[in-house]
C-alpha cells in the first residue's frame, strides 16, 4: 500500500511540476505578447502645468510614487525630450482633446495643440490625434502601425520603421539551414543505424561532442572554416578580378546557414536514429526476404516509415537555430544590411549577402538603442514576432508529422 501511495504521490508531483512549467511558459509568452503589442498602441497626450508656470505637453512613459517621466517634443534628435517631474511640483494635469502628435521618419515626435499640421519641409510622415480618437479609431491606428511594423524597413536608430528585412532574413536563414542540415543529418543517422565498427564509434563520438559545444564556438568555427577558409578560396578561384573586395570571403547568408547546420546537426541525427530504431525488425526482415537489398529496404521502407522522426528532428533544429544569435554575429549578420539576400533580381536568392535577424534586432533595441525607454518596448515587439515565426514554422512541421504518424502507426503495431 505504501508503495502505491508513493507512486501516486510521485505522479502528482511530476504533474504539478509539468503544469507549473507550462504556466510559466504561457505567462512569459503572454507578457512578451502584451508588452510588444502595447508599444504599438497609441498613447494619450497629457498637458502638465507645474507650479512655477512651466507647461509640459507629451506622453507619460513611466511613473512611481513621487515622480513622472514625460516624453516631450524631440526637436533635433531622438531621446532629447524626456523630463522627470516631481508629483509635488505639479499644479494641474489634464488630457486635451486637441492634442496632436507629429511623427517623423527618423523616429522623432513632436507634440502640439489645435490645428497643427506638418510643414512640407519638416519630414513629418504621420499626424495622430490620440486624445480625440475612440476605441475603433485607436484600433485602426494600432493595426496600421502593426502592419507597418511587419512590412517596412527600420531607420538607422532602429527606433522607427519596421522589421521586414530582419523578418525576411530570419525566415530565409532558417529555411536554408533546414535544406542543408536535413540531408546530412539523415545520412549520418542511417550510417550510425546500419554500420558497426570503429568508424561508427568515431562518428558517434563526433556527434556527441558537437552536441556539447557552446554556440559561440560554432561562430568562431564558421568564421575560420567557412568565411576565411572556403570563402577566401572561392574568391581566389572565381572572383579574383574583384579582390581585395571579398565576395564569398566575408560573412553572408550561406556561411551563416552552414554554421547553424553544424549547430543543429546533432539533434537531427539523434531524432532520426531513434525513429529508425523504433521500426519493427520484422519489416526489415520481410523486405530482405523478398529480395530487396539493404539500400532499397532503407530507402523505400525504413526512411518513409521514419518520416515522423525526421520531421521531429526538423522541428528541434528550427527551434534551436531561430534563437541562436551569438554565432551569427561572426558569420554575416548585421544591424542594417545594404541589400536583402532575397529579392526579385535573378537568381533571387543571394547567398553571399549579409542579412538582418530578428534576434539581433531584439538585442540592439534593448541594449544598444539611443532611447532605452522606447527601445525596450520595441525589443518586446521584435521578440514577439520572432516567437511567432518559430511557432508558425514548428506548427507547419507538427501538422505534417502528425499526418505521417497516423499513416504509419499501423506499422508499429
Give the model's pLDDT for residue 413: 52
Q: How far apart are the first and last CA of the chain?
A: 34
- Spatial CB neighbours of 83, under 8 Å, sequence gap ≥ 6: 56, 69, 70, 72
Q: Residue 66 burial by CB count (10 A; 0-12/13-18/19+): exposed, middle or buried?
A: exposed
Span 76-113, pLDDT tens digits: 888 888 889 898 888 888 989 888 888 887 778 888 88
Cα–Cα distances in angstroms (integers) from residue 209 to residues 153, 194, 203, in the given order: 40, 21, 10
Determine the 3-state secondary structure of 358 from DSSP.
helix
Full-model pTM: 0.84
| 42 dihedral zone (left: phi>0; alpha: psi -120 to 50; beta) | beta
User: Residue 409's pLDDT band (boundaries 50, 70, 90)?
Assistant: low
Span 291-337, pLDDT tens digits: 888 888 888 888 888 888 888 888 888 888 888 888 988 898 888 88
Taking the CB of residue 303, how many other CB atoms lie within 10 A of it? 19
Cα–Cα distances in angstroms (integers) from residue 144 to residues 36, 126, 159, 312, in the given order: 15, 11, 17, 37
Residues 252, 348: Cα–Cα separation, whole Å: 15
Domain residue ranges in the chain: 46-133, 164-412
User: Residue 7's pLDDT band (boundaries 50, 70, 90)?
Assistant: low
Residues 360, 112: Cα–Cα separation, whole Å: 35
Yes or no: domain 164-412 corresponds to CATH 2.102.10.10: no
The average confidence (pLDDT) of the chain is: 84
Name residue 111's beta-bridge partners: 101
Coarse DSSP helix, strand, coil percentages of the chain, rounded to the nearest 5 percent? 60, 10, 25
Name residue 59's beta-bridge partners: 71
pLDDT above 60 for 204: yes
Average pLDDT over residues 382-388: 88
pLDDT above 70 for 65: yes
Amino acid at each position: 500500500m505504501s508503495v502505491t501511495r508513493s507512486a501516486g504521490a510521485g505522479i502528482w508531483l511530476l504533474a504539478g511540476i509539468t503544469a507549473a512549467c507550462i504556466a510559466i511558459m504561457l505567462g512569459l509568452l503572454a507578457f512578451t505578447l502584451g508588452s510588444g503589442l502595447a508599444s504599438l498602441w497609441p498613447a494619450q497626450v497629457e498637458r502638465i502645468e507645474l507650479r512655477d508656470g512651466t507647461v509640459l505637453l507629451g506622453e507619460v512613459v513611466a511613473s512611481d510614487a513621487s515622480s513622472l517621466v514625460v516624453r516631450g517634443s524631440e526637436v533635433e534628435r531622438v531621446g532629447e525630450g524626456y523630463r522627470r517631474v516631481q508629483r509635488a511640483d505639479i499644479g494641474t494635469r489634464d488630457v486635451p482633446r486637441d492634442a496632436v502628435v507629429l511623427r517623423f521618419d527618423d523616429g522623432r515626435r513632436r507634440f502640439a495643440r489645435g490645428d497643427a499640421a506638418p510643414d512640407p519641409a519638416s519630414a513629418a510622415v504621420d499626424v495622430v490625434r490620440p486624445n480625440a480618437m475612440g476605441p475603433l479609431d485607436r484600433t485602426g491606428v494600432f493595426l496600421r502601425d502593426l502592419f507597418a511594423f511587419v512590412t517596412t524597413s527600420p531607420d538607422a536608430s532602429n527606433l522607427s520603421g519596421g522589421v521586414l528585412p530582419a523578418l525576411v532574413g530570419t525566415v530565409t536563414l532558417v529555411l536554408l539551414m533546414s535544406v542543408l542540415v536535413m540531408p546530412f543529418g539523415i545520412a549520418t543517422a542511417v550510417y550510425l543505424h546500419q554500420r558497426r565498427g570503429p568508424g561508427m564509434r568515431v562518428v558517434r563520438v563526433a556527434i556527441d561532442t558537437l552536441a556539447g559545444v557552446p554556440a559561440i564556438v560554432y561562430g568562431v568555427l564558421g568564421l575560420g572554416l567557412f568565411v576565411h577558409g572556403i570563402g577566401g578560396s572561392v574568391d581566389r578561384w572565381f572572383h579574383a578580378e574583384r579582390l581585395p573586395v571579398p565576395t564569398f570571403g566575408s560573412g553572408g547568408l550561406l556561411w551563416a546557414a552552414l554554421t547553424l547546420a553544424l549547430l543543429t546537426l546533432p539533434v537531427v541525427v539523434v531524432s532520426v536514429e531513434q525513429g529508425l530504431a523504433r521500426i519493427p525488425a520484422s519489416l526489415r526482415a520481410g523486405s530482405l526476404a523478398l529480395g530487396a537489398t539493404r539500400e532499397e529496404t532503407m530507402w523505400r521502407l525504413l526512411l518513409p516509415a521514419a518520416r515522423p522522426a525526421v520531421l521531429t528532428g526538423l522541428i528541434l533544429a528550427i527551434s534551436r537555430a531561430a534563437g541562436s544569435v551569438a554565432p551569427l554575429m561572426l558569420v554575416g549578420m548585421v544591424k542594417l544590411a545594404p541589400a536583402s539576400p532575397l529579392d526579385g533580381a535573378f537568381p533571387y536568392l543571394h547567398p553571399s549577402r549579409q542579412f538582418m535577424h530578428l534576434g539581433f534586432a531584439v538585442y540592439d533595441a534593448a541594449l544598444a538603442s539611443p532611447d532605452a525607454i522606447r527601445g525596450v518596448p520595441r525589443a518586446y515587439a521584435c521578440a514577439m514576432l520572432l516567437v511567432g515565426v518559430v511557432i508558425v514554422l514548428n506548427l507547419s512541421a507538427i501538422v505534417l508529422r502528425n499526418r505521417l504518424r497516423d499513416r504509419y502507426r499501423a506499422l508499429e503495431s
